[in-house]
Amino acid sequence: MDRRDFIKTALLTLPGLAMAAPWWRWDKKKFLRYIGGTLPIPSLARYRVEGGKKIFDMNIKESTHTFFQGVETKTYGINSSYLGETLLFHPGDDVILRFRNELDEPTTMHGHGMHVPARMDGGPHQVIAPSKVWEARYKVQQSAAMNWYHPHLMGKTAEQVYMGLAGLIYIQDDLPLPKNYGIDDIPLVLQERRFADGQIDYSPSRMDIMRGYRGGELLVNGKVAPTKNIFHRFVRFRILNGSNASMFRIAFENRLPFYIIAGDNSFLERPSIESEVLLSPAERVEIVVDLSQFEEQRLKLVETQSSRTILDLNIFSNLQPNIEAIPQNLIHFEQMESPLFTRRFELGMRRMRLTINGKTMDMSRIDERVPLGRPEIWEVVNPTRMEHNFHIHATHFRLIERNGSEENLRPHERCYKDTVYLAPGDRVKFYVKMVDFADAKNPYMYHCHFLEHEDNGMMGQFVVI
């Protein structure tokens, strides 16, 4: 330990000192004091079993949540005052999700990353009117991953998500990895939120729509810079960029290497040792870190571009050996077949609206008809000067190259994915094959997951035939 580290450690272990910094922030109208403290863990949604099916009752409602001392902030949540309860599934489960809309406005509830029939997808066509119930019924037939659910109402997705509507879906694995939910398997939903007078402020200007609505506080499961006590040697973090349009570059403050084990929809073939990861909106990454060298210390997970704390780990002594080692073989990918067809998607802008292949979203137009079982390459290009990403519903793809080379793929992109980031000028190619659920009538969506872009036209529809 060098001298600087020694002083830092000494300071941090002085009781109270680390806690003493109050979260005073300048809010548009007055000083507000953030409630700091322990990382909230979304509770696991309860279910009942009927006829072999797991039935979850999910109530989408208005609520209030305490982000600041003495201030009630109006929010939306699902069985919760902010965000939603976590759905824990196992491959093969038969589930019924009963979404009851207790809001004063229509909504929908989409399973992002779920491989389900289009009618069960919860996209813009499956509107839930106020006080009505919509059921997503399906069999979980995909491999382990962390997905999420959120509204997808045409033109209103961004605002409803911003108010708090988003929850996690765990599809549990059976590998020897940390999986004590909230203890050594820790979900982190990262979101930026602006506040005005203690209330969530969703008021995008024209510029905000072009750039995506960014800025404000960095919330982690609904809290600013929370702390987490750690009792286990290996800790798994499942991280979702749940922001409307913010990019997050995530690392430990001391650049401690960690293992990336999974991306959006699957494990990586083998863990990849990295010291940071860049996540665009809706992307997920799972990392495992060995904390045995940090007993009785504190360690911060940070957003490096803004130097903000994501999570302040308080690591105890005598860490429990929860797993022996990180498994080296995580998944075996199927061989890609030689692609028979290429589709091209060009992201663009026209008269202050955002487009894909020159078109803005039209719910009554089917843009692409994709045959079942045909291996295809989809090429997405971003000739704009803005950042975007590209998401497909219900289907998982494998990236082949970025800007002409496989080498440009990032570690967390070497797996099955549903969302891929495109910096200005980027061009990506991925391999995709529709494997189930042909339905010529009910479309799936593809879109930019910067939600202001999606809401302003950057979306299209495809059917599987």
State which of residues 100, 110, 236, 402 lies at the interface with ligand C2O (CB under 6 A): 110
Query: Can residue 463 be called a binding residue for ligand C2O (CB under 6 A)?
Result: no
- Residue 453 interacting entry, from ligand C2O, Cu ion, none, C-beta within 5 to 8 Å by type: Cu ion
Q: Which stretch binds Cu ion (CB under 5 A): 130-138, 185-193, 253-261, 452-460?
A: 452-460
Cβ closest to Cu ion, residue 193 vs residue 453 = 453
Helix (H) or strand (E) run with residue 63 in it: strand 53-68
Q: Give the span between the Cα atoms of 330 and 286, in whole angstroms.
A: 12
Query: Can residue 284 be called a binding residue for ligand C2O (CB under 6 A)?
Result: no
Question: In angstroms, what is the minimal distance from the CB of 245 to ligand C2O?
Answer: 13
Q: Give the span between the Cα atoms of 65 and 292, in whole angstroms.
A: 36
Is the separation of the CB atoms in 65 and 222 below 8 Å?
yes
Scan residues 190-209 and list those touching ligand C2O (CB under 6 A): none
Question: In angstroms, what is the minimal distance from the CB of 328 to ligand C2O?
Answer: 32
Query: Can residue 112 be called a binding residue for Cu ion (CB under 5 A)?
Result: yes
Query: Can residue 445 be called a binding residue for ligand C2O (CB under 6 A)?
Result: yes
Query: Can residue 453 be called a binding residue for Cu ion (CB under 5 A)?
Result: yes
Cβ closest to Cu ion, residue 238 vs residue 417 = 417
Q: Give the span between the Cα atoms of 259 and 271, in whole angstroms.
A: 6
Cβ closest to ligand C2O, residue 291 vs residue 445 = 445
Residue, CB closest to ligand C2O? 112
Query: Can residue 282 be called a binding residue for ligand C2O (CB under 6 A)?
Result: yes
Triad 298, 302, 307: Cα angle to 5°: 115
Scan residues 372-431 and list those touching ligand C2O (CB under 6 A): 391, 393
- Residue 282 interacting entry, from ligand C2O, Cu ion, none, C-beta within 5 to 8 Å by type: ligand C2O
Query: Can residue 449 be called a binding residue for Cu ion (CB under 5 A)?
Result: no
Cβ closest to ligand C2O, residue 100 vs residue 449 = 449
Eight-class DSSP state of 147 = E
Q: Give the span between the Cα atoms of 118 and 463, in whole angstroms.
A: 9
Number of residues that bind ligand C2O (CB under 6 A): 10
Nearest to 32 by CA among 312, 308, 224, 306: 224
Do the strands 195-196 and 199-200 form a parallel or antiparallel pair, or are they unpaired? Answer: antiparallel
Is the separation of the CB atoms in 315 and 298 below 8 Å?
yes
Q: Which stretch binds ligand C2O (CB under 6 A): 18-26, 286-294, 368-376, 444-452?
A: 444-452
- Residue 230 interacting entry, from Cu ion, ligand C2O, none, C-beta within 5 to 8 Å by type: none
The number of beta carbons lying within 10 Å of the beta carbon of residue 53 is: 15
- Residue 447 interacting entry, from Cu ion, ligand C2O, none, C-beta within 5 to 8 Å by type: ligand C2O
Nearest to 38 by CA among 287, 205, 251, 228: 228
Question: In angstroms, what is the minimal distance from the CB of 386 to Cu ion?
Answer: 6
Q: Give the span between the Cα atoms of 350 and 81, in whole angstroms.
A: 39
Query: Can residue 125 be called a binding residue for ligand C2O (CB under 6 A)?
Result: no
- Which residue matches tokens 């404000």? 216
Is the separation of the CB atoms in 258 and 301 below 8 Å?
no
Query: Can residue 109 be called a binding residue for ligand C2O (CB under 6 A)?
Result: no
| Token couple for 196 | 């005005």
The mark string for 151-190 relative to ligand C2O (x by CB under 6 A, - otherwise) is: -x--------------------------------------
- Which residue matches tokens 């960029």? 241
Cβ closest to ligand C2O, residue 280 vs residue 297 = 280
Scan residues 337-396 and list those touching Cu ion (CB under 5 A): 388, 393
Beta bridge partners of 416: 398
Q: Give the span between the Cα atoms of 268 and 411, in whole angstroms.
A: 8
Task: Tell me the residue ranges of DSSP E strands in 328-455.
Answer: 341-350, 353-356, 368-370, 376-381, 388-392, 397-402, 416-417, 419-422, 427-432, 439-447
- Residue 450 interacting entry, from ligand C2O, Cu ion, none, C-beta within 5 to 8 Å by type: Cu ion
Nearest to 403 by CA among 420, 422, 388: 422
The number of beta carbons lying within 10 Å of the beta carbon of residue 436 is: 15
Eight-class DSSP state of 197 = T
- Residue 125 interacting entry, from ligand C2O, Cu ion, none, C-beta within 5 to 8 Å by type: none
Question: In angstroms, what is the minimal distance from the CB of 196 to ligand C2O?
Answer: 26
Phi, psi of 345 (to 5 degrees): -130, 120
Query: Can residue 450 be called a binding residue for Cu ion (CB under 5 A)?
Result: yes
- Residue 388 interacting entry, from ligand C2O, Cu ion, none, C-beta within 5 to 8 Å by type: Cu ion
The contact set with Cu ion (CB under 5 A) reads: 112, 388, 393, 448, 450, 453
Site for ligand C2O, rule CB under 6 A: 110, 112, 150, 152, 282, 391, 393, 445, 447, 449
